[in-house]
Amino acid sequence: MTPSDSLHPDVDAWLRQKAPAEVVLLGGDAALSSTVASQVANARRVFGTERAGTAAAIATELWGLPAEGVRRFVVVNGYRDDGWQFGLAAGGLSADARAPMLLVDQGQVPVATADLMRSCGEPMIDLLIVGSSSIIDTDVKQQLDDLDGGGC
């Protein structure tokens, strides 16, 4: 983890010591500036047009979602000021469940999330929603359920 506008010295030292063959930068220029990107060797970016798009890009590019069969997702509200806390807590769940994290807003499902979750036919999506109905409205859960199998 590093600030948006400069590479943290400890991150820089670690990258120089380990010299990874590839470094994946998560997010666009608003998350990590071009200055940061220029300081990292062998870097590639994974990002979307906004935060839900970035989460969807991570799910598809880094997790390798199956084209067929059951897909699992961990869903968090990524638009609250304290949303990072839910994302941090959900990170372990995401890894244990082998399920990429997707973002919703309290009262709506962003287009990038909906596009990734939309399936046609039999329901094939398992969800773990992190947060109570005060964090993610029950209407959002219904919207997510409606996308599963009803996206035809």
Domain count, the chain: 2
Predicted confidence at residue 67, as pLDDT, reads 64
Do residues 113 and 52 lie in contact, with contact meaning Cβ atoms separated by under 8 Å? yes
Predicted confidence at residue 150, as pLDDT, reads 66
Per-residue pLDDT of the chain (152 residues; tens, 9 = 90+): 899 999 999 999 999 999 999 999 999 999 999 999 999 999 999 999 999 999 999 999 999 877 677 889 999 999 999 988 999 999 999 999 999 999 999 899 999 999 888 866 677 888 999 989 999 999 999 999 888 876 66
74 & 41 share domain: no
Containing structural domain, residue 91: 66-147
24 & 88 share domain: no
135 & 81 share domain: yes
Cα dihedral 94, 47, 148, 130 sign: positive
24 within domain boundaries: yes
pTM: 0.88
Cα dihedral 33, 19, 48, 129 sign: negative
Predicted confidence at residue 65, as pLDDT, reads 77
Predicted confidence at residue 108, as pLDDT, reads 94
Say how far apart CA 148 and CA 102 lie, in whole Å. Answer: 15
32 & 83 share domain: no
117 within domain boundaries: yes
27 within domain boundaries: yes
38 & 79 share domain: no
59 within domain boundaries: no
143 & 90 share domain: yes
